[in-house]
Structure 1
Amino acid sequence: MALVATVVSAQAKILTFAWPAVPAATHYKLMKNPDGGSGFSQVGSNIVSVTVDETIPVHLHDWNNAMYTIDACDALDACISSSVLTTTSLMLNAIGYFKPTNPTANHQMGLRTVMSSDGKVVAVGTNTNEGFVYVFRWSAGPGWTQDTVIQPNKFQYSMAMSGDGNTLALGTSSNSILIYKYTTSWALDETVVSSGSPITFGLRVALSRDGTTLAVGDNNFTGTKGAVYVYRDNGTSWPQLGGDLSASDFAGDTATAASFGQAVALSDNGNTLGVGAIYADTVSVNDAGKAYVYRWSGSVWNEEAILEESDSGSNKRFGSALGFADDGNTLAVGRNSQGGSGSAYVFRFSGTWSQQGGPLVATSGDGEGLGTTIAISSDGNTLVTGSVFEDGSGTGINPPADSFASSAGAAYVFSFSAGNWIQSAYVKSRYTEAGDALGVSVAMSADGQTIGIGSYLDDSNTTGINSTPNDDGSTNQSGALYIY
């Protein structure tokens, strides 16, 4: 019995292994040494065909060191191994590059990105008066396909998606939130409007993972001070849950809370609310920014905490992006410092809220604009944050850092392990070009194994999944989405 050859190829998030049949073999095993040093172990169950796919987290895979073999085994489970296979050369092919079926100049697809908990449904927003939303869906067999295009015919401020991928909330320029639901197709289910006099109602929206609670930010209400509103689906309508919220609800908060509602986030069950106020003053610093935490008691929203960064400074824009872990006891906060490198922060609740570790900053690349967007896994131990003005010209995962592609953009993945947050990936696009603004939006599956990153100024005129870009000037700023 001999196994003489193995072929490995890649597509979006998938490595495919294939080999010729071995006559004496009754089954095969895919064996993996994830880091080149911890030894080989079996991936999945025994294989009876001569091909197998492995779905991988592209951003966490060790492209330089991971090794594979295919073991051919007889009925007694006596096995021989193929030669060792590496995957370094397949990294870029494993990054999904998504374009719409009709790329159009200045549509800027990727300006907003949201994802279902399992990472198999992704909605991508545009910067158009029609408010086009492209929905991509993964299913066994065809893999990733463009599922539909939602056209609300209203300019779109923001988006949020439920965990099952079947509810989509769109904040629009008409001071209304459009709730779409999916059964066999997407259809408008409800329109939520404010009972007051909003200015930018819907600038930011968040949905609980169960899709029944909606938070809406209006960062310009009452002269840029801002307000937040929460609604809950009762099966027939979306009545407001509690009263209007503003920073003045917090007793003793003497600082001006400007742009309250610039970011909003909800826990899994919708009973914990986070609000960012990027121009809030602290006692000693103007425009430092704050994040506010509320808990729903069953009848009112109780103010629980005001969070500030440990290294506060003016114009730091702390609170520019927020993300809750499922239980509402871990909150990630972005700070996209105006005109410089940004940072992210993680706060944990255990009786009181406290910052976990120091600021999360880029250890490769310049990190400019880091903290603009943020997403965190359901267990609160993996986060991704966009660095939309980062200047590196590299491609893929953890390339050498430089500054040769102005505002090409990047994203950074951080992981919590052994009591510390560490940078686990410096993420660039498959096709890096100056000005593409990768990282303007980010989304993450509940397990942290799939991330989507918007590149809204991508210029290619190609269509579909994993096309080869062609920048002929006809579709400048048509935008793109990358899946890792």
Structure 2
Amino acid sequence: MKKYSIWLLLILSASTSQILAASNEFDGASQLNAIKQAVFEQKLTAADGAAEARYGISVALWEDVAMIGADFDDEVAVDAGAVYVYTFDGGSWVFQQKLMASDADQGDGFGGSISLQGDRVVIGSPLDNSPAGDSGSAYVFQYNGSAWLEQQKLTASDAGGSDYFGRYLDLDGDRIMITALGDDDAGTDAGAAYVFDFNGSSWQQTTKLTASDGITGDGFGFSVSLDGDQALVGAMLSDQAGTSSGKAYVFEFNGSAWTEVQKLTASDGAAQALFGASVDLLDNRAVIGANRDSGNTTASGSAYVFEHNGTVWTESQKLNVSGIPTGGNFGVDVSLLGNRILIGANRDDEAVTLPSGSVYMFDYDGSTWQQSDVLLANDAAWDDQFGFAVSHSSGRIIAGAFKDDDQGDQSGSAYVFNTSFTVSVIVNGLEGGQSLTLLNNGIDSLQVSSNGWSTFNEQLFSNEVYQVTVDTQPVSPNKTCTAVNGNGTVTNDLVVVTVNCVTNQYPIMANISGLAPTNTLVISQGQDNYPVTANGQLTLTQLDDGSAYSFSITQQPNTPNQTCVFTTAAAGTITGGAVQLGIECVINQYFIGGELSGLAVGNQVVLQNNATDDLSLNNNGAFSFSQSLDDQTGYAVTVLSQPLTPNQSCAVTNDSGQLSGDDVIDIQVLCTTLEYSIAVEVLGLLPGNWLVLQNNGEDDLIVTSDGDYVFKTQVEDFQNYQVTLFMEAQNPIQPCMIQNAQGQVQGEDVHDVLLVCELGDDLIYRDGFEDAPAIGVLD
């Protein structure tokens, strides 16, 4: 006997104590008549297959890549082991590569377990003697686009002899969990599990897990499944409910450490059931095999489904089938993916009268798991062990038959099937007595008369399209049912289409006119508010036929301010059609005005707003333009014509802006009368002499020579001026006369005042210039 076979025998030949338990029994014929059978696609054997290679002891499938372990392959050394890689080319599975450990040695059992995900695979070598006899190891391979290359060898940091590290393992992303069935930390062969994490360059052991209540011989680690930060580890030899009744442990990673959170056992656990012989965990669902449980017959085997409700794991259903013989090993391996479970029964006699093995498929119908198919080898033979290892991905199933004798005793093989998926609907919204008819792809008809889960008769294979449509709608009352996700391509799971049925409704339509582009109007009914931002017709809401409605305007537009009113009745009852509400909006208008001051009596100023609206004003005080303006529009007040009698200059302050919800009353217009200069031209004033002029009896102007002079103080338009000689010339005395000395300012400076001075007698007699020649000299 090969040294590794002791662990296999624990699975295949446990005690057959009979346990009476509740079960789900299915009539295979009636179930299978309603579906497509899984289609056998290809049988795979090693091109270099040999007796006792045990090709098919482990299998893994990921999309179009399949891997098959042959843990006793002899290419490198006797029982060193190998893994065969195949790819699907669209028509068949083609051998790609044979993987072997770089340090392979006799009896290593490389390939005893495989976990494949994407471009990465981890392969167990549980009988590796490095660093101790049968301490075990595992190897990580990475696909580089053309070939699979060994990346790293993993061993336990505390490896010991006969630990069998690597017999069971699972890979998820950058994390691997590997069990060591023979670890002795909690007692001889109590078992352990090791966690390895990838740090970007290498895999590092980060945690060692053992059962909190582990004892000698529990076999903790006889199965393992890893899903993100959750792990499920089986201990099928635990004596929880009797000798080897079995148990499974749930662990969770909290970001820094792994913690055991719950122990799972069968609700009807019994001695020798081997609960935990196989496990699979995905999301909030777990399936656990008990391959020696007395389900329908003594020691025929069962599997248990557990669901996580967010707090605890609870057993939801026990799976077994009628007809499995004693020792049929139903549950020897399980594989969970979405709403489908595969269960291996490697000693089942479904195919031939002698045990050759089978794989059972269960699909979830929304409330329970139903057997949907049984897979058999088309060339089944006694003790092939078909179904000892199973895996599925993208609608395909691979099952190992490691004792197939095609290439010699226990040379082994593997079978690939393409399976179909059900197309189901979850119907919501039907009322009592109602029904509807659905079609899939236009031909497969399904009548549904109650809410919940219903399934079409015809199943589809992966990559086939589905299109669920409503053929007839429910009546009394009329409803419209819609398939929310009704079409697509079958991929990797059962198709579940949601069909929602709602009572026919009619729209409340609002027809809006006059709403400014930047504005928002709020229409309300009860607590429901409907903002409206554009003119035209829009749907406010949908109401069931016969419903009462009552709408009001709860917020008027305010940018700019507008007033909106209903032009139709705003309340009533829906009577089999759309309701049309009319609403008309008008922009609020405001006046532009202010205060005029300084306008001379009898004068007139003309103002203008926005270069169009003229306003003539003859009196000081408040004013307002006649034309009102829409809110939020601009205004700009200017003086169109200034006052002329007299000339005045009127200036506007706060002259422009934008209306903002009120009249403008702060424009100020101030008028001031224009002033002009009074100029005097002086002639005949002797050098050194001087005199003083005044205007209007003030504003002295000193004159010291001939030339032009201007009074300092200007005179307002239309005001009088009078230039007088305030102080005559005295040195010598000269008589001076003013011409044009007085008048009224008429819109310009006065320039025609003339002061003429003569020599006078004082100058003649003072200097003895009585004769004419002397006077001529002075000239």
TM more than 0.5: yes
Q: Distance in 1 between matches of 2:113 and 2:175?
A: 14
Unaligned segments of structure 1, at least 5 residues: 1-58, 67-86, 395-403, 462-474
Q: Deviations over 1:151-207 (max 9, x none)?
A: 223322632333314333333322221111111111110011111133211121111
Query: Which residue, 254, 274, 281 being the options, matches 1:324?
Result: 281
Closer, same or farther: CA 255–220 of 1 in aligned 2, 3 Å: closer
Distance 1:336 1:165, change over 3 A: farther
- Other-structure match for 1:307: 264
Measured after TM superposition, the shift of residue 255 of structure 1 is 7.3
| Correspondence 1:220 to 2:175 | no
1:340 equivalenced with 2:302 (yes/no): no
- In structure 2, the CA distance between the partners of 1:185 and 1:409, relative to structure 1 (3 Å rule), is same
Aligned to 2:253: 296
Q: Distance in 1 between matches of 2:53 and 2:391?
A: 20
Offset, 1:363 = 3.2
Cα distance between partner residues in 2 of 1:356 and 1:416: 15
Preserved CA contact (<8 Å) 1:169 1:207: no
* Further displaced range: 381-390 or 162-171: 162-171
Aligned counterpart for 1:391 among listed residues 316, 341, 349: 349
Are positions 1:357 and 2:312 aligned together? no
Task: Answer yes or no: is 1:436 the counterpart of 2:384.
Answer: yes
Correspondences of 1:24-423 after superposition (within 5 Å): 94-116=40-62, 118=63, 120-128=64-72, 129-140=79-90, 143-152=92-101, 153=104, 154-156=108-110, 158-174=112-128, 175-183=136-144, 184-198=146-160, 199-208=163-172, 210=173, 212-222=174-184, 223-242=188-207, 244-248=208-212, 253=213, 258-267=218-227, 269=228, 271-282=229-240, 284-325=241-282, 327=283, 329-337=284-292, 340-366=299-325, 368-377=328-337, 379=338, 381-394=339-352, 404-405=353-354, 407-423=355-371
SS at match of 1:235: coil
Kindly indicate whether the alpha-carbon contact (under 8 Å) linking 2:330 and 2:343 is maintained by their aligned counterparts in 1: yes
Provide the residue aligned with 1:470 in structure 2: none
- Aligned residues of 2:267 and 2:315 also touching (Cα < 8 A): no
Pair 1:65–1:277, CA change in 2 (3 A): closer
1:362-397, Cα deviation, whole Å (9 max, x unpaired): 2344371011111110x2x21101101112235xxx
Q: Is the 8 A contact 2:42 2:93 kept in 1?
A: no
CA positional deviation for 1:296: 0.6
Which residue is 2:410 aligned to? Answer: 477
Does the CA contact (< 8 Å) of 1:170 and 1:179 recur in 2? no
Q: State the match for 2:455 in structure 1.
A: none
SS of 2:263's partner is strand
- After TM superposition, what 4+ stretches of structure 1 lie above 4 angstroms from structure 2? 62-66, 253-257
Give the whole-Å Cα distance in 2 for the aligned partners of 1:162 and 1:272: 18
Q: 1:106: Cα distance to partner?
A: 1.3
Per-residue CA distance 1:55-101 (angstroms, 9 max, x = gap): xxxx9xx98567xxxxxxxxxxxxxxxxxxxx98xx77x43211121
Structure showing greater relative contact order (alpha-carbon pairs closer than 8 Å, 6 or more residues apart): 1
- Contact map agreement 1:111 1:125 (CA 8 A) in 2: yes
TM-score (norm 1): 0.70
SS in 2 for 1:304: strand
* Partner of residue 49, structure 1: none
Distance 2:119 2:321 in 1: 31
Change (3 A) 1:336 1:193: same
Secondary structure, in 3 states, of the residue corresponding to 2:205? Answer: coil
Paired with 1:121 and 1:203, the residues of 2 have a C-alpha distance of 22
TM-score normalised by the chain length of structure 2: 0.44
**Quick check: 1:457 aligned with 2:403?**
yes
Question: Is the CA contact 2:190–2:215 (under 8 Å) kept in the aligned structure 1?
Answer: no
Bigger fraction of residues in strand: 2
User: 2:724 maps to what in 1?
Assistant: none
Q: Is the 8 A contact 1:393 1:434 kept in 2?
A: no
Deviating more after overlay: 94-103 vs 288-297: 94-103
How has the CA–CA distance of structure 1 residues 108 and 254 changed in structure 2, closer, same or farther, with 3 Å as cutoff? closer
Percent of aligned pairs with the same amino acid: 25
SS in 2 for 1:264: strand
For residues 303 and 152 of structure 2, the distance between their equivalents in structure 1, rounded to whole angstroms, comes to: 35
Deviation at 1:420, TM superposition (A): 0.5
CA distance in 2, matches of 1:483, 1:235: 35
Q: CA deviation at 1:136?
A: 1.0
Give the residue type in structure 2 aligned to 1:476.
Answer: D
C-alpha distance 422-65 of structure 1, shift in aligned 2 (>3 A): closer
List gaps (5 residues or longer) in structure 2: 1-27, 73-78, 129-135, 418-779
| Alpha-carbon shift at residue 356 of structure 1 (Å) | 4.3
Query: Shift of the alpha carbon at 1:131?
Result: 0.9
How far apart, CA to CA, are the structure 1 residues paired with 2:34 and 2:233?
41
Q: CA shift at 1:254, angstroms?
A: 8.2
2: CA distance, partners of 1:228 / 1:104? 33
CA contact (8 A) 2:333 2:389 kept: yes
Distance 1:386 1:436 in 2: 13
Q: Could you list the per-position Cα deviations for residues 218-276 of structure 1 after superposition, in whole angstroms to 9, with x for gaps in the alignment?
A: 1111111111110011121111223x21112xxxx487771111111101x3x111100
Cα distance change on mapping 1:287 and 1:365 into 2, 3 Å: closer
In structure 2, relative to structure 1, the CA distance for the partners of 1:168 and 1:205 (3 Å cut) is same
| 3-state SS of paired residue (2:68) | strand
**3-state DSSP class of the match of 2:203?**
coil
What letter is aligned with 1:279? L
Q: Any conservation in 2 of the 1:228–1:245 contact (CA below 8 Å)?
A: yes
Cα distance in 2, alignment partners of residues 290 and 363 from structure 1 = 24
Shift of 1:143: 3.1
Q: How many residues align?
A: 359
State the one-letter code of the partner of 2:238: A
Task: Give the Cα separation in 2 of the matches to 1:314 and 1:177.
Answer: 32
Q: Please say if residues 332 and 343 of structure 2, whose CA atoms lie closer than 8 Å, have aligned partners that are also in contact.
A: yes
How far apart are the structure 2 equivalents of 1:172 and 1:290?
Answer: 22
Distance (Å, rounded) in 2 between the aligned partners of 1:254 and 1:181: 35
